[in-house]
């Protein structure tokens, strides 16, 4: 009886451990995927015109600059009421590349020179280096359009997943 | 009995989801009230003027062409596309019943897009004409 119980315990233990070891997110700081984050206003407001960009893709100083110039947001007026604007900025800052502990955010953050405050994710040295084999023709394909359209090739982009295995470049 | 409870639950659920939604005509009536305040000579909204506004193309001070139809296409029943390549749901409520049902959202987009296209705010008259045009599309 005791022996059977012991066997069961060992079985449960090994199954749990395997799952834990296989999971990508088991240890904060070693995971490549950006952590799952959510804020209802961020989701609604920041995805009506473009891909919902994960806060871990830019450092705090970039988000602060972005959110203080929404009336001229890449040539468009994207103004928000002050309450919504503040809530979204605090969410972005708390989960920004220099505050997140995943490896990808750290790499993005480290790639940006201290004196620069990029507003386009596609202008960070990390992005440029990661996409150096993508030609201009590919960016211009109707189903892609521009580097702003992450989800065209990275279907998990809005959930912070940019893993190589999930890249599908449309023809 | 169970059926009754189910129907009651369904009714409550439907009532709940629509609690804050307005009918497009209510949104239009609100703009009529504002238009009267802005201009004592205000008479009514015109779908024809709204149609002209929707299609009017002007040259922005940046030197580029600007119009509503530039992003929303020449037919409000069709989906449009943002500059960042995201689909915009159709503008005509006959095709997209969600359109013009949230007064705050309607006002937010007029505030932004009047600046982007016309480089000024729109009058309540213009907003109402625009909505009247969208509502006239069957």
| Percent of chain A that is helix, strand, coil (3-state, to 5) | 50, 0, 45
Chain A interface includes B82 (CB < 8 A): yes
Across the interface, whether the CB atoms of B112 and A77 are under 8 A apart is answered yes
Query: Over 80: is that where the pLDDT of B5 sits?
Result: no
Which band of pLDDT confidence, cut at 50, 70 and 90, is reported for residue A10?
low
A positions 86-125 inside 8 Å of B (CB): none
User: Residue A15 has what pLDDT?
Assistant: 60
Q: With contacts defined as CB-CB under 8 Å, which chain B residues touch A75?
A: 62, 83
Q: What mean pLDDT is predicted for residues A25-33?
A: 55
Which band of pLDDT confidence, cut at 50, 70 and 90, is reported for residue A12?
low
Which residues 6+ apart lie within 8 Å of B42 measured at CB? B32, B35, B36, B125
User: Residue A29 has what pLDDT?
Assistant: 43
Q: What tokens does B135 get?
A: 């509502």
Which residues make beta-bridge pairs with B87?
B81
User: Residue B10 has what pLDDT?
Assistant: 53
Chain B interface includes A19 (CB < 8 A): no
Chain B interface includes A148 (CB < 8 A): yes
- Asked whether residue A137 is domain-assigned, the answer is yes
pLDDT digits (tens, 9 = 90+) for B89-112: 999 999 999 999 999 999 999 999
User: Residue A32 has what pLDDT?
Assistant: 73
User: Residue A30 has what pLDDT?
Assistant: 47
- Asked whether residue B1 is domain-assigned, the answer is no
- Asked whether residue A65 is domain-assigned, the answer is yes
Chain B interface includes A51 (CB < 8 A): yes
User: Considering Cα of A52, then A96, then A80, then B101, what sign does the dihedral take?
Assistant: positive
User: Residue A115 has what pLDDT?
Assistant: 96
Chain A interface includes B98 (CB < 8 A): no
User: Residue A4 has what pLDDT?
Assistant: 73
Measured between CA atoms, the residue of chain A closest to residue B60 is A75
Q: What percent of chain A has pLDDT over 70?
A: 84
- Asked whether residue B10 is domain-assigned, the answer is no
Measured between CA atoms, the residue of chain A closest to residue B109 is A78
- Asked whether residue B128 is domain-assigned, the answer is yes
Domain that holds residue A47: 39-111+118-166
pLDDT digits (tens, 9 = 90+) for B38-85: 999 999 999 999 999 999 999 999 999 999 999 999 999 999 999 999
User: Residue A24 has what pLDDT?
Assistant: 45
Q: With contacts defined as CB-CB under 8 Å, which chain A residues touch B107?
A: none
pLDDT digits (tens, 9 = 90+) for A87-121: 999 999 999 999 988 999 999 999 999 999 999 99
Q: What mean pLDDT is predicted for residues A144-166?
A: 94
Q: What percent of chain B has pLDDT over 90?
A: 84
Nearest to A146 among B85, B112, B113 (CB): B85
- Asked whether residue B34 is domain-assigned, the answer is yes
Query: Over 70: is that where the pLDDT of B2 sits?
Result: no
Q: What percent of chain A has pLDDT over 90?
A: 79
Ranking A8-17, A113-122, B117-126 by mean pLDDT, the lowest is A8-17
Query: Over 90: is that where the pLDDT of B13 sits?
Result: no
Across the interface, whether the CB atoms of A148 and B84 are under 8 A apart is answered yes
Query: How far apart (Å, rounded) are the C-alpha atoms in residues A161 and A124?
Result: 18
pLDDT, chain A, mean: 89
pLDDT digits (tens, 9 = 90+) for A58-87: 999 999 999 999 999 999 999 999 999 999
Domain that holds residue B128: 21-136
Alpha-carbon gap: A86 to the closest alpha carbon of chain B (Å) = 17
Q: CA B93 from chain center: how many Å?
A: 8
Query: How far apart (Å, rounded) are the C-alpha atoms in residues A112 and A119?
Result: 11
- Asked whether residue A21 is domain-assigned, the answer is no
- Asked whether residue B87 is domain-assigned, the answer is yes
- Asked whether residue B95 is domain-assigned, the answer is yes
Domain count along chain A: 1
Domain with residue B73: its CATH number is: 1.10.760.10
Domain count along chain B: 1
Query: Over 60: is that where the pLDDT of B115 sits?
Result: yes
- Asked whether residue B7 is domain-assigned, the answer is no
Which residues 6+ apart lie within 8 Å of A145 measured at CB? A139, A152, B84, B85
Chain B interface includes A79 (CB < 8 A): yes
- Asked whether residue B15 is domain-assigned, the answer is no
Query: How far apart (Å, rounded) are the C-alpha atoms in residues A49 and A52?
Result: 9
């Amino acid at each position: 009886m005791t022996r059977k119980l012991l066997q069961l315990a060992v079985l449960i233990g090994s199954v749990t451990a395997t799952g834990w070891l296989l999971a990508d997110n088991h240890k904060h700081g070693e995971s490549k995927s950006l952590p799952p984050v959510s804020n209802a206003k961020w989701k609604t407001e920041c995805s009506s015109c473009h891909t919902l960009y994960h806060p871990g893709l830019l450092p705090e100083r970039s988000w602060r600059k972005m959110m203080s110039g929404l009336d001229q947001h890449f040539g468009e007026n994207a103004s928000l009421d002050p309450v919504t604007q503040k809530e979204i900025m605090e969410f972005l800052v708390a989960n920004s590349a220099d505050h997140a502990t995943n490896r990808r955010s750290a790499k993005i953050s480290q790639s940006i020179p201290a004196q620069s405050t990029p507003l386009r994710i596609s202008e960070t040295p990390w992005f440029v280096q990661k996409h150096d084999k993508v030609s201009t023709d590919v960016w211009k394909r109707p189903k892609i359009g521009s580097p702003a359209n992450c989800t065209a090739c990275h279907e998990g982009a809005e959930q912070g997943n940019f893993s190589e295995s999930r890249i599908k470049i449309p023809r | 009995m169970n059926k009754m409870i189910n129907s009651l639950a369904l009714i409550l659920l439907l009532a709940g989801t629509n609690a804050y939604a307005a009918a497009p005509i209510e949104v239009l009536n609100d703009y009529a009230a504002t238009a009267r305040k802005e201009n004592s000579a205000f008479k009514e909204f015109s779908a024809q003027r709204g149609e002209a506004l929707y299609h009017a193309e002007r040259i922005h001070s940046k030197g580029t062409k600007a119009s509503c139809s530039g992003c929303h296409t020449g037919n409000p029943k069709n989906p449009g596309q943002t500059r960042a390549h995201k689909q915009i749901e159709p503008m005509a409520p006959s095709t997209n019943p969600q359109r013009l049902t949230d007064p705050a959202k309607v006002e937010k987009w007029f505030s932004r897009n009047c600046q982007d296209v016309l480089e000024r705010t729109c009058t309540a008259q213009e907003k109402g004409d625009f909505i009247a045009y969208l509502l006239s599309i069957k």
